[in-house]
Structure 1
Amino acid sequence: MGKRYYARESESLKLIHVGTLYSICVILFLLANKLFINLNFYVANLTIQFAFILLPAALFLVLFKFDVKKILRLNKIKFKTLIIIFFLMVSSMPLAGVFNLLNQYLVKVIFGEVELLDIPIENTLPGVMLGFFLVGIAAGICEEVLFRGIIQRGFERYGVKKAIIITALLFGLMHFDFQRLFGTFLLGALIGFIAYRTNSLYSGIFAHFVNNSVALLTKLYYQKLNEFSMDVEIGANALPQLENIPVGDSVVTVVAFIIGFLIALAFFAGFFILFMVLFIKNTSKTEVDVIEEKEPVMLKDILVFVPGLLVVVYVYIEQGARLIGL
């Protein structure tokens, strides 16, 4: 990826370590969601983020005596780079949204129903601030420490590209929502690339924060529009809105909508490419401590992921059964 590699402290971080940690966190995540189902949404999710995602990751690093700064890439990042990352993430959101719509369309075709849950946001200043803390800050820190901080690092010895892609997939799967898996995977891959190129977990946390916070702001904006009786739906609930386009009443309406949609998509794609080029250029001289030993994958390294992946399969089967009315 156009970088200079040098091996250091991360060489002791093995695949068996990250696989075990992933399975533990997935199992704890599921149990916590079941146990806290009747708790206040914010209390439950803040507890889950810090106690069942961040805490196991932190204990893992401490108990096995890893160099936390080296493993997590706790390196400074330039303000200019943060500005570029901000616009890169904002311009990527409509593109990820398109993949989510495709994801939801496939779910609708297969299961005949789409059932998406949105984060409840109270229409008060304390409620909004709490929402930003949960969605933007807490999720950004806790999930990035686990995934881009530890799991991606464990996979890097098999190649950076593989590490970014596999970690993004595991990241998407652990969200326990196959109706948004495409978009979540793309988000994880982009954040993984950003964290790698900058050699800093801080950039990954910031990118995660920007994505979640802008999505929350957009949701709040459309909530305000709906208060004025404007029938507007976006994001997670956009599929029903698209299905209501009056195809039989006006072909012109459909054509105009498609053209407008493609123009908007091309607009954001152009900005995304622009800021991606700027980002790559801005980080071209960054040195990254990555090991690509190409060592063979052992059976034990794969088996430690199985408990976590089985939990994911269980949750997805449960979701699919609910969609078809079982």
Structure 2
Amino acid sequence: MYLFILLPVILYILIRKKSFKKVLRLHKVSPQQIFITMLLILAIQPMTALAARIMEHLLGHGFFPPMGDMSANGSGNLFMSLFIIAVTPAICEEVFMRGVVLDGYRHIPLWKTAIMNGVLFGLFHNNFMQLSYTSIVGIILTYVVVFTNSIYPAILMHFVMNALSVLMEKYPTSLYANFTIWYETNMVLLILLAIVSICATILLLIWLKRLSNNSAIESMDASDNSIEASDALNHTITFVEWPLMLATAISVIYSLMMVYAM
């Protein structure tokens, strides 16, 4: 990932003579923003679990890739597994998706940006079974980055969510693992929790936005009304040009490398 995702991002920023701080949104965050980020990690779990169950039902087989196979990359070492499955994707994928790709959509309405970035994030994982789950997570992470004007909360969320999966595999009888399995296997309870999850996520994002003093939000929101019919085509072209092509190219290259490695 560092070679095929992080390195191209660094080269792109250097070649285009852009600011690392601006493109990657390397800004400080407040303790309140970190607190809301941690609450969001808990809030989105039932919602994404329901999306996973629906996809599993539609496609007729298991949603999650075998964590045992993934953990094998760490040779059974917990810290190595956390580095490979949690630390590396959190840094590389966020720098790419919520850094370079998101930077290309600064003048697009925020809701369009969030959906586009989320879907690209889902497709980037090259696993159709994960598309619904990862797209939802990608949308939420996009809002988090824009509302905080910082990539750090997204990296934190990404790391913690992946780390929880690793820890559940390592400690399948833990309280968290048992609770997660309990509500995910009870469809009625899962639906009810998902409704609460959606409401809680929306409220937390509203709270996060109110804490922010980010001009990028006003810029993206204002573009909803400022784009005139005469230049709508130009914005449409901007919306699908280099960020989408870059995401597709890196995704294809990375997929081929993973297939070759297998």
Taking structure 1 as the reference length, the TM-score comes to 0.61
- Choose the corresponding residue for 1:60, options 1, 8, 12: 12
Indicate if the aligned counterparts of 1:88 and 1:276 stay in contact, CA closer than 8 A. no
Q: How far apart are residue 56 of structure 1 and its match?
A: 0.4
Amino acid in structure 2 at the alignment position of 1:148? R
Matching residue of 1:93: 45
Indicate if the aligned counterparts of 2:98 and 2:145 stay in contact, CA closer than 8 A. yes
Query: Deviations 1:15-56 (Å, cap 9, x if unpaired)?
Result: xxxxxxxxxxxxxxxxxxxxxxxxxxxxxxxxxx11101110
Secondary structure of the residue aligned to 1:103 is: helix
Query: Deviations 1:226-267 (Å, cap 9, x if unpaired)?
Result: xxxxxx9x88xx9xxx9xxxxxxxxxxxxxx7xx53235424
User: Structure with the greater relative contact order (CA < 8 A, sep ≥ 6): 1 or 2?
Assistant: 1
Secondary structure of the residue aligned to 1:155 is: coil
Hey, what's the Cα distance between the residues in 1 that align with 2:49 and 2:143?
A: 19
Secondary structure of the residue aligned to 2:128 is: coil
Cα distance change on mapping 1:216 and 1:206 into 2, 3 Å: same
- Greater percentage in helix: 2
Cα distance change on mapping 1:134 and 1:220 into 2, 3 Å: same
Q: How far apart are residue 76 of structure 1 and its match?
A: 0.7
- Choose the corresponding residue for 1:118, options 66, 69, 78: 66
Cα distance change on mapping 1:179 and 1:273 into 2, 3 Å: same
Hey, what's the Cα distance between the residues in 2 that align with 1:299 and 1:70?
A: 23
Secondary structure of the residue aligned to 2:43 is: helix
**In the alignment, is residue 199 of structure 1 matched against residue 149 of structure 2?**
yes
Matching residue of 1:286: 212
Hey, what's the Cα distance between the residues in 1 that align with 2:193 and 2:237?
A: 46
Indicate if the aligned counterparts of 2:50 and 2:190 stay in contact, CA closer than 8 A. no
Q: How far apart are residue 94 of structure 1 and its match?
A: 2.4
- Choose the corresponding residue for 1:142, options 82, 88, 92: 92
**In the alignment, is residue 152 of structure 1 matched against residue 102 of structure 2?**
yes
- Choose the corresponding residue for 1:176, options 99, 120, 126: 126
Cα distance change on mapping 1:98 and 1:268 into 2, 3 Å: closer
Hey, what's the Cα distance between the residues in 2 that align with 1:299 and 1:86?
A: 36
Taking structure 2 as the reference length, the TM-score comes to 0.75
Indicate if the aligned counterparts of 1:104 and 1:180 stay in contact, CA closer than 8 A. no
Cα distance change on mapping 1:71 and 1:289 into 2, 3 Å: farther
Hey, what's the Cα distance between the residues in 1 that align with 2:80 and 2:202?
A: 31
Indicate if the aligned counterparts of 2:120 and 2:247 stay in contact, CA closer than 8 A. no
Matching residue of 2:27: 75
Indicate if the aligned counterparts of 1:172 and 1:188 stay in contact, CA closer than 8 A. yes
Structure 2 gaps of 5+ residues are none
Matching residue of 1:262: 188
Secondary structure of the residue aligned to 2:210 is: coil
Amino acid in structure 1 at the alignment position of 2:33? T
Q: How far apart are residue 287 of structure 1 and its match?
A: 2.4
Q: How far apart are residue 99 of structure 1 and its match?
A: 0.7
- Choose the corresponding residue for 1:277, options 180, 192, 203: 203
- Structure number with larger C-alpha Rg: 1
**In the alignment, is residue 217 of structure 1 matched against residue 193 of structure 2?**
no
Matching residue of 1:105: 57
Q: How far apart are residue 201 of structure 1 and its match?
A: 0.6
Indicate if the aligned counterparts of 2:56 and 2:63 stay in contact, CA closer than 8 A. no
Cα distance change on mapping 1:68 and 1:90 into 2, 3 Å: same
Amino acid in structure 2 at the alignment position of 1:95? M
Secondary structure of the residue aligned to 1:158 is: coil
Query: Deviations 1:164-215 (Å, cap 9, x if unpaired)?
Result: 1101111110110011100110010011111111111111111111211122
Matching residue of 1:324: none
Structure 1 gaps of 5+ residues are 1-48, 226-231, 243-256, 320-326
Matching residue of 2:137: 187
| Aligned pairs, number | 233
Hey, what's the Cα distance between the residues in 2 that align with 1:125 and 1:114?
A: 24
User: Percent of aligned positions with the same letter in both sequences?
Assistant: 22
Indicate if the aligned counterparts of 1:85 and 1:279 stay in contact, CA closer than 8 A. no
